[in-house]
Homo-oligomer: A and B are copies of this chain.
């Protein structure tokens, strides 16, 4: 049987989704929980890697096991009984045999939360980027519109990445404020390594007066990482939704 799982996790305690030699991964915790239920040979495949400290509201993964004959609606509670409190399976459904959680992705949405308060908010600790200097969400939102469309986003990729095809389509990019929290939401068909965090760092630099609002298009054209803003820290980033 093959199931599609929707998983939320607080990434603070993990080296990321993907199994790694150093550090505990979300994948490892999921595999342990699934193996406890269905024995060895249970396979978990995720929709994406996420960096250390990055969170997920609706990460997607498949669970495959010959021994798994449980009804999908019973699976979340069964797995959660074997998972730590910072990882939770929120939903499960049956999945086609040829479905791949990574290669079948049509759209992903990331959200980035900036705690833009003059003083620290204890409830945002590790779950938002604390930026005390006042930001202008409207100007950030205007600048963000230049990112929408099909572009070569090489300037917004971590330097050293070895991916050759750096063309991606951004469907929407919006910046909104609610109280002290600024949310950057980016939807697209795929993202380069650190792309969302570099977008956020660049939009902050726009509000901060370090990059001109109208220069975003030029930065994209330059294909040079040095022209974009800094990479915003991992703690504000959430994989928010994945569509197939």
The one of B55, B90, B120 in contact with A85, judged by C-beta atoms closer than 8 angstroms, is B120
Render A55-68 as a binary contact track against B, CB cut-off 8 A, 1 for contact.
Answer: 10000000000000
Q: A76-B118, A118-B76 are in contact. Are A123 and B10 (CB under 8 A)?
A: yes
Contact in complex: A122, B80 (CB < 8 Å): no
Residue of B nearest to A56 (CB): B122
With an 8 A cutoff between CB atoms, is A9 at the interface?
yes
A148 to chain B, nearest CB (A): 28
With an 8 A cutoff between CB atoms, is A215 at the interface?
no
Interface size, A (range): 20 to 34
Q: Which residues of B contact A118 (CB under 8 A)?
A: 76-77
In angstroms, Cα B124 to Cα A90, docked, is: 13
With an 8 A cutoff between CB atoms, is A127 at the interface?
yes
Q: Which residues of B contact A89 (CB under 8 A)?
A: 119
Contact in complex: B86, A125 (CB < 8 Å): yes
The one of B77, B80, B122 in contact with A9, judged by C-beta atoms closer than 8 angstroms, is B122
With an 8 A cutoff between CB atoms, is A87 at the interface?
yes
Q: Which residues of B contact A126 (CB under 8 A)?
A: 85
Q: Which residues of B contact A80 (CB under 8 A)?
A: 119-120
Contact in complex: B122, A88 (CB < 8 Å): yes
A119 to chain B, nearest CB (A): 5
Q: Which residues of B contact A125 (CB under 8 A)?
A: 10, 85-86
With an 8 A cutoff between CB atoms, is A91 at the interface?
yes
For residues 128 through 167 of chain A, which have their beta carbon under 8 Å from a beta carbon of chain B?
none
Contact in complex: B119, A77 (CB < 8 Å): yes
With an 8 A cutoff between CB atoms, is A214 at the interface?
no
Q: Which residues of B contact A91 (CB under 8 A)?
A: 119
**CB-defined A-B contacts under 8 Å, sample of 14:** A8-B123, A9-B122, A10-B122, A55-B123, A76-B118, A76-B119, A80-B120, A85-B122, A85-B125, A85-B126, A86-B125, A87-B122, A88-B121, A89-B119
- Nearest 9 CB-CB pairings of A with B: A88-B120, A10-B122, A85-B125, A86-B122, A76-B119, A90-B119, A88-B122, A8-B122, A88-B119
Interface residues of A (CB under 8 A from B): 8-10, 55, 76-77, 80, 85-91, 117-123, 125-127
